């Protein structure tokens, strides 16, 4: 397996899952900010032009964070990355989807790439509803979402079941962005982030990524 990743992306969660599984893989670092994912050679691998992207030895290429996580869990059942209980599996998938789609895609998307959400029409520009307004909207969305997720983690060390799994990597990658954006983490999320950073697999990946 070959994982394509880039600094400051959600691919860190996929990288952690690969380390937890313990099977051989290669990690290829891309300069996402510099445009590597838009280059022809990478678009030939993943036409979506984004990471994470997991190339399998048989020529197949997996994309999308949640889908890759579920695939890895299903094909490495011994690692216990998804709960076997239907209700707990639902919980894991729901939190993963919320972290990826809402917290990341809608919330942090507005902070990191406000131009994608900024109204371009003259009326909004005249009223000053530009980048600053978009970023503030993103901060509000994230704060509200974190409160919801904080309640989800009440009385739990991990998102679903009784052990670490796919959903924890989704939660980890969005909560690790909070300090750099000045967004406070509620207590249960802060504790989960600390717990994640204590895992050997997470420490190994963060060393590769140059994070602490």
pTM for this model (two decimals): 0.92
Residues 142/108, Cβ–Cβ less than 8 Å: yes
Element housing 61 (H / E): strand 61-63
Q: What pLDDT, on the 0 to 100 scale, is given for residue 126?
A: 47
Where in the chain is CATH 3.40.30.10? 2-79
Beta carbons within 8 Å of 157's beta carbon, 6+ residues apart: 192, 195
The residues of the chain that CATH labels 1.20.1050.10 are 86-199
CATH number of 86-199: 1.20.1050.10
Q: Which residues of the chain have pLDDT under 50?
A: 123-124, 126-127
Superfamily, domain 2-79: Glutaredoxin (3.40.30.10)
pLDDT of amino acid 4 = 98
Q: Quote the pLDDT of residue 55.
A: 98
Among the listed residues 59, 73, 60, the one whose alpha carbon sits nearest the alpha carbon of residue 14: 73
Contact 83, 165 (CB under 8 A): yes
pLDDT of residue 94: 98
Contacting residues for 54 by C-beta, under 8 A, at least 6 apart: 1, 2, 3, 4, 14, 61, 62, 63, 68
Residue 43 near residue 85 (C-beta atoms within 8 A)? no
């Amino acid at each position: 397996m070959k994982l394509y990743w880039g600094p400051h992306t959600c691919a860190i969660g996929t990288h952690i899952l690969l380390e937890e599984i313990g099977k051989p893989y290669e990690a290829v670092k891309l300069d996402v900010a510099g445009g590597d994912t838009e280059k022809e050679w990478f678009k030939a691998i993943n036409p979506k032009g984004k990471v994470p992207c997991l190339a399998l030895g048989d020529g197949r290429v997996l994309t999308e964070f949640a889908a890759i996580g579920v695939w890895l869990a299903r094909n490495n059942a011994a690692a216990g990355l998804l709960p076997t209980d239907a209700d707990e599996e639902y919980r894991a998938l729901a939190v993963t989807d919320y972290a990826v789609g809402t917290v990341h895609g809608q919330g942090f998307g507005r902070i990191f790439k406000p131009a994608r959400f900024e109204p371009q029409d003259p009326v909004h520009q005249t009223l000053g509803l530009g980048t600053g307004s978009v970023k503030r909207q993103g901060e509000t969305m994230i704060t509200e979402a974190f409160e919801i997720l904080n309640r989800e983690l009440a009385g739990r060390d991990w998102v679903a079941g009784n052990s670490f799994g796919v959903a924890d990597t989704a939660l980890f990658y969005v909560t690790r962005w909070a300090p750099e954006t000045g967004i406070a983490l509620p207590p249960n999320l802060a504790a989960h982030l600390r717990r994640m950073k204590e895992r050997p697999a997470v420490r190994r990946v963060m060393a590769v990524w140059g994070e602490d």
